[in-house]
Structure 1
């Protein structure tokens, strides 16, 4: 598995980034730069079959890759779980939710998320690269009601790939504490550009709150 660890300030939260189905980690350089500017370290990795990571992608394979990424942070980098914020966008949101159900973390950020592949299919497949996904479930709906860690759910108001209604469903099924941030005018792939400074401010506020809450636990 291939990935990048971008370290900002010591003892600050670390974002474990699960990317979406389109592209690979090199497509997220601008995001990483902005998160670095607000003092967040990031570990972003390519699933098997994406970018420079070898193998063939599968639903279970992606889940295993995310577990491996978490182990890398905690065992190799010696980062405490209470410093880790799991982030997933689009397909990666389902991977992030599964990871949060199996490994400890301070918080969970889901962007452009959907309850399940079946829910997306009920709307349309247009614009969604389905190839190997047709045999997968990615049922985030099964995991979110179990997760008690703080959650920030982000969605573009004009997302025509994963409609806003699906993002609202994700928020509704999520267990508190949770917050929902709709970026008006944003589509599936430009949330941070349209959101601008407000987008990264919401990130920073959520991360700090989640980090503080976890640090106060006995």
Structure 2
């Protein structure tokens, strides 16, 4: 009997180890979907405004790549700069039309690829993405015409979690999070139902516990029909955030089409928040 119990215990142990190893192996593949160069839309010859190809270094020695796009709608005053932290899939070229549209509203945009995406070196992970955002922030501030008091941090989806972390750690003028989840734990619980997979996942991206430490004006944007990150995530983030804050729910929008469904109204709302910090 004892021998049988030992055998059963051994099988359970091996199975448990296999589950842990399997989850840890699949974790990164379930969270990050980078598309490296040359896939994408890299021809910038017809891009509106002035576009500068940029490379900069992270503290751990990786070279990252980005675009610094200057708005053609320039007045006498230096325009605000938007630091665009994109989502977990593709690369910066897949946000090309979004960036181009933002330029029309009098804002410069700096978008870059995290480690492992596009032309950037390395392999993505949570701490790495936080380090990448810090490096991008410092690179931007090395430009004489970029002032942290006119720097708006924008994060979409997973990029919203990176944006919250950055705004918590570095001065900025305002923060925008769009289609962003509360935490990987919450997302995992929703994806796997009652299975306790979240206990095995090391990645946190726990914006819900951090957003209350951000003390700049906040705009939270979410599609009402988001099938990837349910709108309740955005509502919970908004509820946990400090004032002043604004909520913008886009009726009928899913996860990746907020600015398309919202149309010109979307860009007007974002522009108004950037330039004035108020509701329409």
TM-score, normalised relative to structure 2: 0.70
Aligned to 1:201: 268
Matched, 1:156 2:219: no
Q: 2:81 aligns with which of 14, 20, 26?
A: 14
Comparing both chains, which one has the higher relative contact order based on Cα–Cα distances under 8 Å and sequence gaps of 6 or more?
A: 1
Aligned to 1:131: none
CA contact (8 A) 2:92 2:118 kept: yes
Matched, 1:116 2:183: yes
CA deviation after TM superposition for structure 1 residue 124, in Å: 1.5
Q: Deviations over 1:135-194 (max 9, x none)?
A: 310011122101110000000010000001111111111111111100010000000000
Q: 1:23 aligns with which of 87, 90, 95?
A: 90
Aligned length: 205
User: What RMSD over aligned residues (CA atoms) do the two structures have, in Å?
Assistant: 1.7
Q: Deviations over 1:62-98 (max 9, x none)?
A: 0000001110111145511011000001000000000
Q: 1:101 aligns with which of 141, 148, 168?
A: 168
Q: 1:72 aligns with which of 139, 164, 167?
A: 139
Q: 1:55 aligns with which of 116, 122, 126?
A: 122
Cα 1:77–1:19 shift into 2, 3 Å: farther
After TM superposition, the runs of 4+ consecutive aligned structure 1 residues lying more than 2 A away are none
Q: Which has the larger radius of gyration?
A: 2
How many Å separate the matches in 2 of 1:36 and 1:78?
16
CA deviation after TM superposition for structure 1 residue 119, in Å: 1.0
Aligned to 1:216: none
Aligned to 1:180: 247
Aligned to 1:89: 156
CA deviation after TM superposition for structure 1 residue 44, in Å: 0.2
CA contact (8 A) 1:87 1:109 kept: yes
- Unpaired segments of 5 or more residues in structure 1? 126-133, 212-218
CA contact (8 A) 2:78 2:145 kept: no
How many Å separate the matches in 2 of 1:198 and 1:121?
33
TM-score, normalised relative to structure 1: 0.90
How many Å separate the matches in 1 of 2:156 and 2:144?
24
Q: Deviations over 1:107-144 (max 9, x none)?
A: 0000001110011112227xxxxxxxx43100111221
Matched residue SS, 2:114? coil
Q: Deviations over 1:8-65 (max 9, x none)?
A: 1361111000000011100011101110111110000000011110101110100000
How many Å separate the matches in 2 of 1:170 and 1:124?
19
